[in-house]
Amino acid sequence: MIAASSVRSLIPSPASVIRLFVGGLIGLMVWELWARVLTKAVLGYPLEPAGLIDAIAQHNFGLGVPYLLREALHYAVGIVGYPVFYYLVSRFVPRWPIVLDAIVFATFTVGVAMLMARGGFTPVHFIFYTAVLGLLASRFFNASSALADAITWGNFTWFNALGLMAPIGGLSFYLLGEGGELSYMSFVGHVIYGAVAVWWFERGELPMASSRERMDTSPARM
């Protein structure tokens, strides 16, 4: 049987929940700076993840989503949705960083291979693919496992947005068919978002984890 203390350690405290959402908020604010300011400076136009929500609704149901509603959904996913999903995955999926890295590697490799088969592979895509593989491989020489795990979560949020949601919205797999530049900027932005959100949360959880460990190993009081 699972010890009661072990079960309790998997249920987030109110402080942990707040820290989880604050991490999502901080990560999302950094994302907004990257998406709306820096990406626009580089590409001439911003990243608009809320537009993906509209694309999904238009492609599947022929409906338009009002601007304020899709922006609200975008913020809800970034502040609440992804952080909650992270908590569930990181606490309940064994060896989750390896699993998620494998998903990103396999799906992006398939996407690049499909692009090559269609004759659309360019030097930009080669640089992009090399950058993604390099970041995935950084786990093997990263001195901080916590940072490596945070980067893994950022990679996975990119897969979820462009590897899953983009095709559902009628767009190309990982947006590779749109040239690769937009997908690359989205890749960097998602890695930064996920890494910042997870780092903030897990950094605050360390003292609590140490406290719980001391309580679990202390002699029982009569």
Residue 168 has, within 13 A of its CA and on its CB side, a CA count of 14
Mean pLDDT for the stretch of residues 209-217: 48
Mean pLDDT for 87-109 is 97
pLDDT tens digit sequence for 33-87: 999 999 999 999 999 988 899 999 999 999 999 999 999 999 999 999 999 999 9
CA distances from 75 to 27, 28, 34 (A): 11, 8, 15
Please list, in sequence order, all residues whose beta carbon lies within 8 angstroms of the beta carbon of residue 185, skipping any fewer than 6 positions away: 34, 35, 39, 42, 43, 47
Residue 176 has pLDDT above 70, yes or no: yes
Q: How far apart are CA 46 and CA 50, in angstroms?
A: 11
pLDDT beyond 90 at 1 = no
pLDDT for 11: 83
At residue 8, the pLDDT reads: 54
Residue 221 confidence (pLDDT)? 41
Tell me the two tokens of residue 163: 């590897």
How far apart are alpha carbons 201 and 19 in whole angstroms?
6
**For the chain, domain boundaries:** 14-209
Mean pLDDT of 127-147: 95
Instruction: Grade residue 5 by pLDDT with cuts at 50, 70 and 90.
Output: very low
- d(Cα 163, Cα 43) in Å, to the nearest integer? 21
